Amino acid sequence: MATQARQGLDTMLRAHQQFAEAASRFLESDWQNAGKFLDEAIRGGGGGYNATLLLMRARCFQQRGQWADVVRTTGTLLQKVDARGSWVRGQPRMMAVTVGATAAMEMGDGEKALKFYQSCLRNDPDQKDISKQYKGLKKLLKLIKEVDEKLGKSQNHKALATLEE
């Protein structure tokens, strides 16, 4: 029993050291090492679904331009938090929606960005800011699709005109 307790305490202390080092590097904007220490701490001692740690991890990925990792990390956070009730600016779940949607757009995946907004609106349909962003993005994606279709037709017309010459 004492051996198990000692091992548990040792694991907890190592994780705490990793978290402390991660926080220090994060505050210094050393995104690469902050992410490394966060990953080690999460793997080594838990905290993998702690909203603050996941947001820190997402920020490290964001600063390094690793958009798919940002989307994955914020998606994990949204799956693990309690979604009920009002969603208020400044809450981890609201930050995850905003950061995740932005990262999805950086990847060129407008549909995934819409899904981030939908995750909020499903649980808090009265969320005015997110509703406005959702509607604006939906309108933008529709316009992009229309432009792509017109460009495709234009390219086809040019190709036919070249063949006719």
The encoded tokens of residue 28 equal 């210094």
Question: Per-residue confidence of the chain (165 residues) as pLDDT tens digits?
Answer: 788 888 878 877 888 888 899 999 999 999 999 999 898 887 876 555 688 889 999 999 999 999 999 999 999 999 988 888 788 889 999 999 999 999 999 999 999 999 999 999 999 999 999 999 999 999 999 999 999 888 887 666 665 566 565
Q: For residue 73, give the nearest of 88, 89, 53 by alpha carbon.
A: 53
The half-sphere exposure of 58 on its side-chain side, counting CA atoms within 13 A, is 29
Beta carbons of 69 and 91 less than 8 angstroms apart: no
DSSP string covering the chain? -HHHHHHHHHHHHHHHHHHHHHHHHHHTT-HHHHHHHHHHHHHHH--TT-HHHHHHHHHHHHHTT-HHHHHHHHHHHHHHS---S---TTSHHHHHHHHHHHHHHHTT-HHHHHHHHHHHHHH-TT-HHHHHHHHHHHHHHHHHHHHHHHHHHHHHHHHHHHHH-
DSSP letter assigned to residue 66:
-
